[in-house]
A and B are shown apart, each in its own frame.
Chain A
Amino acid sequence: MSFVNFKKKEVQFKLVYYGPGLCGKTTNLQVIHRLINPEARGDLTSIATAGERTLFFDFMPLVANAIEGFQTRFQLYTVPGQVMYNLTRRMVLRGVDGVVFVADSQWSKMSENVESFANLEENLRLQSETLQTLPHVLQYNKRDLPDVAPVHFMEFMLNNGAVRQSSFPAVATTGEGVFEALNMVARLVLHKFMTVHNRKEEGACELALV
């Protein structure tokens, strides 16, 4: 959940990149770190195994000029994709404001995509959250590889809810589709924050740390 500090004039949001192992979550953050305006980002920190697989999470803070009079911070996290690290994924998801679900477009990875998406829904449910209300987008990564499923098939598999979410074909290694997904999820998060907070302000001001 977002955090507002009126004294520091700061709003913090948490974005999580989710998806199956080796789908390109860490690559998304690495490319953002490499290509974004350096003043807008902090260091990229990765806690990985010797084999460069994410063990704990990757973390990178970004700053945007989004809300008048406030510094707006987006804290970007990835989760470890490997199935055995589910407790870590739950931990990283705590207090999430928005999700980029990174799917691997290769046919051979389709069942892992579906499994990971179901795992995301289940882990959100455990913290009383649901994708129906949580801002999220889908990124269909690795479109440059041979033997990838058509986008409409991936939509059928992963984006088949009552409300169609924004989705982005991507080649994360080159940056294609990376900033599009990031900007869209950030906009959705901001829109939800404005809607919820300003509606509350119209009524009674509720002070809450929950």
Chain B
Amino acid sequence: MAQILHEKDSVRLRKVLVQLLARSESDDCLLCDSGGHVLALEGASKHDPFLISALGAGIFGASRELARMLGENEFSAVLHQGEHRSIFLRAVDADTLLVMIFSRSANVGLVKLYSTPAVDDLRQILADIQHGPSVPGPEDSRPFVLSPDAQLFSLRKE
């Protein structure tokens, strides 16, 4: 089964991330699932969101196992602090992760503080998506079609 994010849900998720970005003075905010898929992204940096998502999901999965070993349900957040940039990962629900990247001009306390209401909002939106009625737009309900010139992967031309 596919995870499907319709346009109206993307807009709701984006609104939360935009607000979080502004309040916390972070560079990037990214929402990903435990499989490493990027659900939503806001920010202007040049980091590859797909790589951040893959590694973030990996880090969080590893920390969850460490928590389990120590008898905790989970570590709800992980902070990697660097000299110039830091990354803060926080669980939204059992399968979704919020990743925030911020520079040293941002305050780590504010990042943590503002992530709390944002996570609550995101959790609510994800619950609405999972349990709410389906109202896809007309564009969203068209069947998928393979491209007539569909090319998968081929060798580079010498």
Could you list which residues of chain A lie within 8 angstroms of chain B, going by C-beta atoms? 1-8, 11-12, 14, 32, 35-38, 40, 42-43, 45, 56-57, 59, 61-62, 64-70, 73, 75, 77, 87-88, 91-92, 94-96, 175, 179, 182-183, 186-187, 190, 193-194, 196-198, 201-202, 204-210
Contact among B2, B33, B39, B54 with A59 in the assembled complex (CB-CB below 8 Å): B54
- Count, chain B residues at interface, CB 8 A: 55
B149 touches A (CB below 8 Å): yes
Contact among B34, B143, B149 with A95 in the assembled complex (CB-CB below 8 Å): B34
Between-chain CB contacts (< 8 Å), 10 pairs: A1-B35, A3-B5, A6-B4, A7-B10, A14-B35, A35-B156, A45-B54, A94-B34, A175-B155, A209-B130
Stretch binding the partner chain, chosen from B71-79, B101-109, B110-118, B134-142:
B134-142
Chain B residue numbers with a CB within 8 Å of A194 are 144, 146
Chain B residue numbers with a CB within 8 Å of A205 are 134, 136, 140-141
Return the 5 tightest CB-CB contacts between A and B, nearest first.
A95-B35, A207-B134, A7-B10, A91-B61, A3-B37
B7 touches A (CB below 8 Å): yes
Contact among B2, B126, B132, B157 with A3 in the assembled complex (CB-CB below 8 Å): B2
B44 to chain A minimum Cβ distance, whole angstroms, is 16
Chain B residue numbers with a CB within 8 Å of A3 are 2-5, 33, 35, 37-39
Chain B residue numbers with a CB within 8 Å of A193 are 2, 144
B12 to chain A minimum Cβ distance, whole angstroms, is 11
A30 to chain B minimum Cβ distance, whole angstroms, is 15
Interface string of B30-69 (1 = CB under 8 A from A): 0001111111000000001011001101100110010000
A68 to chain B minimum Cβ distance, whole angstroms, is 4
